[in-house]
A and B are shown apart, each in its own frame.
Chain A
Amino acid sequence: MSDAPFKNPGWAGNTGEFDLTEDQVRGDEFVGERPKAGGHPSASATFPFMLPEKNPDTPLFEGEYQERFEKILTRYPTKRAALLPALALAQEIRGYVSPESMDRVAELLDLSSAYVRGVATFYTMYNKAPVGRYLVQVCTNISCNLCGADEVLEAFLKYTDTEMGEISEDGNFTVIEAECLAACGFPTCVQINSRYYENVTPTEVPKIVEHLKADAAKGPR
C-alpha cells in the first residue's frame, strides 16, 4: 500500500522542510489487516478493511464473522444497538446492503424488516445497490470546493469513464460526490474505499486511476 505514486503529507502546513512517508502519517503499523473476528470486543464494531472477496450470497453470519457479531452484541445494553455495526458487517461481506441482508439482520436482532430498512436508508455509507470495486467519493463541500473540488470530481468521472453513481464498464469504479470528509485542510479530499487520498488535484487524478486499475489487475481485490 506504500506504492502510491502521489503525495499524502497529512499535514497541509508542510511546505517541504519536513517529510513523513505516507505510511507514517496513516499509521501503517496500526492500519493493518484487522482480524475478521474483530480482535478485542471493544473494537469489534470497527471496520477491518473492506473485504476483497465480496459476495452477495455469503451467509450472515458464519465463522469468524459470527464470532464478531456475537462480540458486538456484548458491547451494548440492547440488541437494537448492534444494528449499525451488524449492517456494516453485512456490507463488508456482501459488498452492499441488499433487502435480503436487511431482512436477515432484522431477524438476528429481533427487529422488523421495515424498521431495519428505515435505519439503513438513513445512513449514506450503506450501499443500497452494488458499487464498483473502488467507490470513489469526492468531497465537493465548501473547503474542498474553494480549492477546486468540482474539477477533481469531473476528472474522476472523465478518467474512469463513468456517470455519477454508475459502475464503470470494467466494474472497477463508482464515482460519487461526497459531503465533507473532515479533511478540509487537505483539499481536495477523496475517499476511495476505506482510504483517504488528500490534496488531490485534477492533474493527479489520471495517476490515481491508473494506479487503481493496476491494483485491480493484480487479482480479486
Chain B
Amino acid sequence: MAESPNTVTLTIDGHEVTVPRGTSLLDAAKTIGEDIPHYCYHPGLTAPAMCRLCLVEVEGAPKPMPSCVTAATDGQVVHTQSELALSRRRGVLEFYLVNHPLDCPICDQSGECKLQDYVHQEGREHGRSREPKRVFGRDDFGGDVLFYGDRCVMCTRCVRFMDEMEQDSRLTVVERGNRSVIDTFFEEGLEGTSWSGNIVDICPVGALVSKEFLHKARAWDLDHTPSICPSCSQGCNIDLHTRDNLVQRLKPRENMEVNGWWMCDHGRANYEWINFGERLEAPLVRTDAASRAMGWKDALGSLVARADELKGRPVLAVASPFASNEDLGALQALVDHLGGGSVVYRMPRAEAEMPMKGFPQLARRRDLAPNGTGADLLGMTRVGDDAGRGGLEQVAAHDGILIVLGDALADQGETFGEGAALYVHLGTHGGPAAAHADYLLPITTFAEQEGTFTNHERRVQRFWKGLDGPGAARPAWFVLGVLLGEMGGGATPRSAADAFALLGARAAAFAGLTYDDLGTRGAVVNDAVPLAGD
C-alpha cells in the first residue's frame, strides 16, 4: 500500500477505504454506508467525545475508540460491528435508558428520535434498571424553546451551539455527574437570541422542543419537501414539513455552501402566511358591472383580445421579489412582447445584516425577500422604501397597460390602477388595491409550485412543490407563459424547467443553466462576461 501525503487507506468492516488524511473514523465509515451511532458529535460543532456511543474496535488499540475523534491512519483495521463494539454501544444505550422517561407517546421527537432509532437498531431488548428514575421536569428556556430535562442525553450539542455558533453562551451544564442538567442563567432565557431555534434541530432526542410545534403533529405524519427559505436573500436551504396541505414547520436542510445546517429564528417562524386561507381560487374578470369568475380558458382568451386592442399602449409592471426566477422571467417576457416598459419591484430591507458569528457566511441578510437578486438580473428596478412600501405613484396613476405580479400592494388604496386602460393583477389574495383590476388571476405561492430563487451571492437554488394550490390557482410562470403563447410571443413552457431554460434569453447570467445543473444544492449564475471593447 503506497503511502500518500494527503490520503490514508484503512480497512473498515472488511472494506478497504481511502479517505483524506485527518478524516475521523466516523466519517470514514460513512463512505461505506456505515452510520455509527453518535450523539455528542455534530459535524458543525467541536467534538467532545463524551457520549461514548460511537465506540468502535480498532485492532491494536487497548480500548474501544470513540470514532468521532479518532483520526483514520494508514493500515488501521476498524470493526464497527464486532462483538466488542456492539457490546460497548449496547452498554451505553442501556445507561441512557436508566433515566430516560420513555414518554415517547407524548414526545414530539418520537419518530425522529435518535435514542429510539439506536435502541431499536442495536440496543438491548429489555432494560434491567429497576430503580426509580431521576426527575428534572420541564423548563421554559425562552424564545421558542422548551426543555424536558428528563429526556436529555447530555450530549451538550445545544450548549456548544450557543457557545460556538451563536457565540452567546446562554446555555450551560449545571451541577455535575448524574445531577448535571442543561440550564440557562436562572431566570435569563434565550430571549433576544437569533439562532437558538437550531438547538431544537440538533437535539438528538426530545429534550429541546419547539413551543410553536408542541403537540401539533407527529413526526411520521409530516411530508418533507426541499425548499428555500423565503424570508431573506440568504436563501437558506430548508425542508417544508407539511401535513393536511398546511406547512407545519420549517427545518434547515444542509447545504455547506449556503447555510450549513442552520437557519435563523426569524425565517423559521415566518411561515404562517403560506397557510393563510381566503385565497383567490378562480380568475376574476371585471365586466361592465361586476367581477365574474371564469375558467382559465375564457379568462385568458378575453385578456388576449383586450391586450390586442390596446397594443402599442405603454406598459408598466410591478413584480415581487418573493416571486421565482421563472415567474419574473415570464413577466419580463410578456412586458417585452407588449412593447416594453419598466418593471419595478419593492422589497423590505432590514437595518443591518445579522451574521451567525460561528459561521459567518450565513447571515440574515438585509434584503428581506428571497429573490431581489433574480429581479435585478432580469433588469427590474427596485423602488420604494425599506419597509417595502411606496414608490408606486407613477404606476398607480398609469393610463396604459398595468400588470402586477405577486405584490399584495398593502399600502395602496382602492384607486390603484383606476385609470389604467388594462389592469392585470396576478396574486394570491386580491385586496383593496386590486379593486380596479380588470383581470384578477389566482397564482400559487412558492410552496405550491416548483421554481428557483437567486440568493444574495447570485446562487440559483431550486425549491419543490410541497402543497397543492387552491382551486384554479396556477404558477405565475404558467399563466404568463400561456398568455404569451396565445399572443404569439413564443413557445409556452410546459414545466418549471422549461420556464427556467427560457431565462437565458432574458438574462445572460442564466444562459446555459438547467435544473439538472442546479440539483439540490444550487449553482452560482454565470459571471457577467465583459463585452469586447468594454
Contact = CB atoms under 8 A, between A and B. Distances in A.
- A and B interact physically: yes
Interface of A: 99, 102-103, 111-118, 121-122
Contacts of A99: 185-186
A113 B173 CA distance: 12
A102 B174 contact: no
Contacts of A102: 185
B188 A121 contact: no
B176 A121 contact: yes
B456 interface: no
A117 B176 contact: no
A136 B137 CA distance: 32
Given A113-B188, A114-B169, A116-B185, 13 more contacts: A99-B185, A99-B186, A103-B185, A112-B168, A112-B185, A113-B185, A114-B170, A114-B185, A115-B169, A117-B185, A117-B186, A118-B172, A122-B176
Contacts of B170: 112, 114
A189 B186 CA distance: 35
A115 B163 CA distance: 9
A114 B176 contact: no
A73 to B, nearest CB: 21
B183 interface: yes
21 contacts: A99-B185, A102-B185, A111-B169, A112-B169, A113-B188, A114-B171, A114-B172, A114-B184, A114-B188, A115-B169, A115-B172, A116-B185, A117-B172, A117-B174, A117-B183, A117-B185, A118-B172, A118-B174, A121-B174, A121-B175, A122-B175
Contacts of A112: 168-170, 172, 185
A112 B171 CA distance: 9
A114 B188 CA distance: 9
A115 B175 CA distance: 12
Contacts of B186: 99, 117
Interface string B164-202: 000011111111100000011110100000000000000
A102 B188 CA distance: 13
A118 B174 CA distance: 4
Contacts, number: 36
Contacts of A113: 185, 188
Residue with the greatest number of chain A CB neighbours at <10 A, chosen from B168, B173, B185: B185
Specify the main secondary structure of chain A where it touches its partner: helix
Nearest to A106: B185
In the A-B complex, the 8 residue pairs with the smallest Cβ-Cβ separation, listed nearest first, are: A118-B172, A112-B169, A113-B185, A114-B185, A121-B174, A114-B172, A115-B169, A121-B175
A116 B186 CA distance: 11
Contacts of B168: 112
Specify the main secondary structure of chain B where it touches its partner: loop
A99 B186 CA distance: 8
Nearest to A102: B185
A122 B170 CA distance: 17
Contacts of A115: 169, 172
Contacts of A121: 174-176
Interface residues of B, number: 14
A185 to B, nearest CB: 28
Nearest to B172: A118
A122 B175 CA distance: 5
Nearest to A120: B174
Contacts of B188: 113-114
Residue with the greatest number of chain B CB neighbours at <10 A, chosen from A103, A114, A117: A114
Contacts of A103: 185
B162 to A, nearest CB: 8
A121 B186 CA distance: 12
Contacts of B172: 112, 114-115, 117-118
A111 B168 CA distance: 10
B290 to A, nearest CB: 62
A52 B188 CA distance: 33
Contacts of A116: 185
A57 B217 CA distance: 50
A80 to B, nearest CB: 12
Interface in B187-225: 188
Contacts of A122: 175-176
B92 to A, nearest CB: 23
A114 B173 CA distance: 9
A117 B171 CA distance: 10
B194 to A, nearest CB: 16
B50 to A, nearest CB: 15
B42 to A, nearest CB: 20
A103 B184 CA distance: 12
A74 B369 CA distance: 51
Contacts of B174: 117-118, 121
A103 B171 CA distance: 14
A148 to B, nearest CB: 27
A123 to B, nearest CB: 8
A99 B184 CA distance: 12
A112 B166 CA distance: 13
Nearest to A112: B169
Contacts of B176: 121-122
A118 B182 CA distance: 9
Nearest to B159: A118
A99 B185 CA distance: 8
Nearest to B181: A121
Contacts of B169: 111-112, 114-115
Nearest to A113: B185
A47 to B, nearest CB: 22
Nearest to B177: A122
Interface in B267-313: none
Nearest to B175: A121
Residue with the greatest number of chain A CB neighbours at <10 A, chosen from B169, B171, B172: B172
A114 B186 CA distance: 8
A117 B183 CA distance: 9
B207 to A, nearest CB: 17
Contacts of A118: 172-174
Nearest to A121: B174
A166 to B, nearest CB: 19
Contacts of B173: 118
Contacts of B183: 114, 117
A113 B187 CA distance: 11
A121 B175 CA distance: 5
A111 B172 CA distance: 12
A105 to B, nearest CB: 12
B474 to A, nearest CB: 51
Interface in B375-423: none
A72 B464 CA distance: 60
Contacts of B184: 114
A118 B170 CA distance: 10
B508 to A, nearest CB: 50
A63 B174 CA distance: 32
A103 B185 CA distance: 9
A31 to B, nearest CB: 30
